[in-house]
Structure 1
Amino acid sequence: MAVLVEVDPGRLVVRLTGADRLWALSAGVQAPTAAVNGVRTVSRAEAWARGRGLRLPGTYWPNLIMAGSYVSRTRGRSFWCVHRAEELLLVELAGQPYDRLLLEVPQPAEVSRTIARARFR
């Protein structure tokens, strides 16, 4: 189970592997780096406070996994792939099917810097 993030100057690719593909009912997400409005690390509590919304489609099991697409009237559409990590990667997008990506990745601060360098050079 892993979320792989690949970044180049023109594209951000999020790939799900293993059981995460099943839980999220998705192989991943792609977006142009120009669509990235912001990227940073957030705590699990802050991510939950931002709200989840309705699961369409995806998986949720309290304190274990939250994966897939979630829709909220006030916050738009978000894509989650989170297990138990306390620090998550938040990517905010504009003009894409998802407004936010919330991902559990190894070393989220480093991945955040990599995306920011590709987008905000």
Structure 2
Amino acid sequence: MATVLDVTTTGLRVRFTGSDRLAACCAGLDVPFERIVGSRVMTRDDAVASSPRLPCPGSWWPGTLRAGSWGVGERRQLWSVRRGAYVVVVYLSGRPFHRVVVDVADPYQSHRRLEAALLHSKKTSPRRALRDRLPPRLDDGVDPTGRR
């Protein structure tokens, strides 16, 4: 496999190597646990059926390869899948991707390892909503300067 899925102490690291790096037009992605909503193992056909049809930029060959960015805006996904029957799907919050789909040697073990690390991170570090990190909007009744 030319895709490496590593669970680190702070999040998930997805690395593309070799020809997958060229096909995906991307070196990979580092995702902190705060952005990870969850993961699951799906069949390749189910994952393809629930994804956008527009590669931008991406590469595909029917039944053989699907790599790179697919879709735009909120539905944008990062793929690196070859002929594997089962893939790991990681759901994310925020941008640039809402879903990462990868083909790894043992998808069930990768899924279990990611879910265990995600659960551990939720128990050991406080969670804050992404909304708390944004500056207040002018139309919500709060003056951004702090004056009333």
Unaligned runs of 5+ in 1: none
State TM-score, norm by structure 1: 0.92
Unaligned residue ranges in structure 2 (runs of 5+): 121-148
Which residue number corresponds to residue 66 of structure 2? 66
- TM-score, normalized by length of structure 2? 0.76
Counting only pairs closer than 5 Å after superposition, residues 15-94 of structure 1 correspond to structure 2 as 15-71=15-71, 76-94=75-93
* Structure 2 SS opposite 1:105: coil
- Secondary structure, counterpart of 1:81 in structure 2: strand
Identity %: 34
Q: How far apart, CA to CA, are the structure 1 residues paired with 2:84 and 2:29?
A: 20
Off by >4 Å, runs of 4+ in structure 1: none
- Say which structure is richer in strand: 1
Report the number of matched residues. Answer: 120
- Using the TM superposition, give the Cα deviation of residue 52 of structure 1 relative to its aligned residue in structure 2, in angstroms: 2.8
Greater RCO structure (CA 8 Å; 6+ sep): 1
Q: What value does the CA root-mean-square deviation take over the aligned residues?
A: 1.4
Q: Choose 1 or 2 for highest CA Rg.
A: 2
Contact 1:88 1:103 in 2 (8 A): yes
Greater helix content: 2
Deviation (angstroms), 1:53: 2.7
1:48 Cα deviation after fit = 1.5
